[in-house]
Amino acid sequence: MVVLKSKEEIRQMREAGQLLAVCHKEIEKIIEPGITTLDIDSFVEDFLKRHGATPEQKGYKGYKYATCASVNDEICHGFPRKTPLENGDIVTIDMVVNLGGALADSAWSYAVGKISDTAKRLLEVTHGALYKGIERAIIGNRIGDIGHSIQTYVETQGYSVVRDFTGHGIGPSIHEDPQIPHFGNPGRGLRLQEGMGITIEPMINEGTWHSRVDPNGWTARTVDGKLSAQYEHTVAITADGPLILTRA
């Protein structure tokens, strides 16, 4: 069931989203070779507490951390750990912020130190893919229009779109209807309506889209060991077009 949000609810989600965006900007400043993803996780938890917010992922379905931190071939739901990040790594930090009950969800891929030109291009295309999707998040379009636009762009660039994880409706709980696949057919699926709050979060692989989940039951990684990147925004469908809630 799709629950539409009032203007006031969207305003509150936007406040949560703006705090999240500032948090990502702070992460960008501290990411460098030698820092651990557990350090980043503590930083995020502390940052949110200082700003009167909480990390919604912690405790969600038994998940133990404030963030997901997915390095190199990890697609999503990587556990923060004590291993230092190395020069040349890419890492996606994903988090959901709860500010007074309103939620916002955003993931960002970061370069650690100096990365290869091929990794750089993957980040650029993945970031571009997010915006290809957002552009289509317009009243009257269908969910398939978002996925189709992302998939066409990504495959033209020689990369693949992860199938096993999708965007989703959001707020008051993390995952609500509808699912938002990052692949699909134009003109298919549910029609987008004013007041929908959704995430668009393409996970894009250098090689095949196939993933497998680690024995920890959470962490998905590429089956071929090649890189995966992700950018995610929470977006409201409004009469004025897509409103990106997780931008500062």
The binding site for ligand MF3 (CB under 6 A) comprises 57, 60-61, 63, 68, 77, 94, 96, 105, 174, 199, 201, 232
Tell me which stretch binds Co ion (CB under 5 A): 99-107, 115-123, 146-154, 183-191.
Answer: 99-107
CB of 175 to ligand MF3, least distance (A): 6
Nearer residue to ligand MF3 within complex by CB, 24 or 77 = 77
Rg (CA), the chain: 17
Residues between 103 and 122 that touch Co ion (CB under 5 A): 105
Size of the site for Co ion (CB under 5 A): 3
Q: Which residues of 89-106 are buried (b: 16+ CB within 10 A; e: fewer)?
A: bbbbbbbbbbbeebbbbb
Nearer residue to ligand MF3 within complex by CB, 105 or 206 = 105
* DSSP code string of 144-165: HHHHHHHHHHHHHTT-EE-SS-
Q: What are phi and psi of 211, to 5 degrees?
A: -125, 160
Query: Which helix H or strand E contains 104, and what residues bound it?
Result: strand 102-111
CB of 246 to Co ion, least distance (A): 10
Site string for Co ion, 178-217 (x = CB under 5 A): ---------------------x-x----------------
Q: 77 by DSSP, 3-state: which?
A: coil
CB of 117 to Co ion, least distance (A): 29
| Residue 18 burial (10 A CB sphere; 0-12, 13-18, 19+) | middle
CB of 57 to ligand MF3, least distance (A): 3
CA 163, 167, 169, 171 dihedral sign is: positive
Nearer residue to ligand MF3 within complex by CB, 32 or 177 = 177
CA 89, 204, 222, 27 dihedral sign is: positive
Nearer residue to ligand MF3 within complex by CB, 67 or 151 = 67
CB of 234 to Co ion, least distance (A): 8
CB of 74 to ligand MF3, least distance (A): 12
Given ligand MF3, Co ion, none, residue 77, with its beta carbon under 5 to 8 Å by kind, binds ligand MF3
Alpha carbon 132 to chain centroid, angstroms: 15
